[in-house]
């Protein structure tokens, strides 16, 4: 089945390592089933990077706040997403849909995308992430869409960068925060109080991650062991406390300050 791109929808970039041809085939098929055509964006393989000498990575700051380094897969993922933002800026692309190559799409995903293009709600970044407890803590519906979906604002900062829409303004702003990196890309997305981007979610999400297959980022990112010593180890609890405090306060400040505007 051949599917032509829809003129009323933004380009769809799928991040994929060239060696993962099976994932490329799967995503081509999944998108074709919902009437969409992807543009594959060659991912940066973090395992091929000289991370200790990588100018884009602030390992010292990362260890102060988290007690360990970002993993190679996380850095490769972040730089791959950043590459799309650079492409948007260089080519003046007004909006884009970004997908990682391990997601499933609802049958009505194309209709959801079309509905979003018509919403009067201003947005910079719309994330198709967050399930279960993310919405159990409460959310505000800003615009009900068709098929039971809605554009929402939540008082949390869910993880995941496997599917989202962003504007050219968002690409520019995110690039500003991605020159010296110390947190994964999804954390940057969630820090709306810092990026000043209008960051919203779709509920329920029409995109879900494939949790059964192996992750190209690697499961070692879930390792909780600390890899610090000396002064960094001594100061780490204070930095960690400040991170949690500012993170929790930031997301709630955005949620409540926008209450009357929404």
- Predicted confidence (pLDDT) per residue in 111-158, tens digit: 999 999 999 999 999 999 876 566 667 789 999 999 999 999 998 888
Q: pLDDT digit string (tens) for 114-127?
A: 999 999 999 999 99
Q: Considering the domain boundaries, does residue 7 fall inside one?
A: no
**Quick check: is 1 in a domain?**
no
> Which CATH number characterizes residue 53's domain?
3.90.550
User: Has residue 45 been placed in a domain?
Assistant: yes
pLDDT at 75: 96
- How many structural domains comprise the chain? 1
Domain range holding 153? 12-257
Residue 3: what pLDDT?
39
* 262 domain-assigned: no
Does 93 fall in a domain?
A: yes
The residue written with tokens 């109080």 in the block is 193
Question: Average pLDDT for residues 52-65, to the nearest whole number?
Answer: 94
Determine, yes or no, domain membership for 108. yes
pLDDT for 8 equals 81
63 within some domain: yes
For residue range 183-225, what is the model confidence (pLDDT) as tens digits?
999 999 999 999 999 999 999 999 999 877 656 665 555 566 7
Q: Where are the beta strands (DSSP E) in the chain?
A: 12-16, 39-42, 95-100, 103-105, 125-127, 140-144, 150-153, 163-167, 199-203, 207-209
Q: What angle do CA 30, 211, 62 make, to 5 degrees?
A: 115
134: number of Cβ within 10 Å: 21
Q: What's the CA gap between 228 and 134, in Å, rounded?
A: 32
Across the range 168-184, mean pLDDT stands at 97
pLDDT at 259 over 80: yes
pLDDT of residue 174: 98
Percentage of the chain beyond pLDDT 90 is: 80
Distance CA 193, CA 181 (A): 18
Specify burial of residue 136 (Cβ count, 10 A radius: 0-12, 13-18, 19+).
exposed
Between residues 62 and 133, the one the model is more confident about? 62
**pTM given for the model:** 0.91
Give me the sign of the Cα torsion angle 237, 239, 242, 248: negative
pLDDT for 222 equals 54
């Amino acid at each position: 089945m051949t599917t032509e791109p829809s003129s009323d929808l933004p380009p769809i970039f799928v991040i994929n390592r060239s060696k993962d041809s099976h994932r490329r085939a799967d995503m081509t098929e999944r998108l074709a089933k919902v009437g969409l055509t992807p543009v594959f964006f060659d991912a940066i393989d973090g395992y091929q990077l000289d991370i200790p000498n990588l100018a884009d990575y602030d390992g010292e700051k990362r260890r102060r706040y988290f007690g360990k380094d970002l993993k190679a897969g996380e850095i490769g993922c972040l730089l791959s997403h950043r590459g799309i933002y650079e492409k948007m800026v260089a080519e003046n692309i007004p909006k884009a849909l970004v997908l990682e190559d391990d997601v499933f799409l609802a049958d009505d995903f194309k209709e959801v995308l079309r509905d979003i293009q018509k919403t009067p709600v201003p947005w910079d970044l719309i994330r198709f992430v967050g399930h279960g407890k993310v919405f159990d803590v409460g959310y505000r519906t800003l615009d009900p869409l068709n098929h039971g979906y809605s554009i929402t604002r939540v008082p949390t900062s869910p993880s995941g960068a496997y599917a989202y829409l962003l504007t050219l303004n968002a690409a520019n702003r995110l690039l500003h925060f991605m020159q010296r990196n110390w947190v994964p890309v999804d954390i940057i997305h969630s820090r709306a109080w810092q990026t000043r981007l209008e960051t919203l979610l779709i509920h329920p999400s029409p995109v879900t991650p494939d949790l059964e297959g192996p992750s190209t980022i690697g499961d070692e990112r879930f390792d909780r062991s600390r890899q610090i010593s000396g002064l960094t180890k001594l100061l780490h609890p204070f930095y960690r406390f400040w991170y949690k405090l500012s993170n929790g306060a930031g997301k709630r400040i955005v949620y409540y300050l926008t209450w009357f505007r929404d």
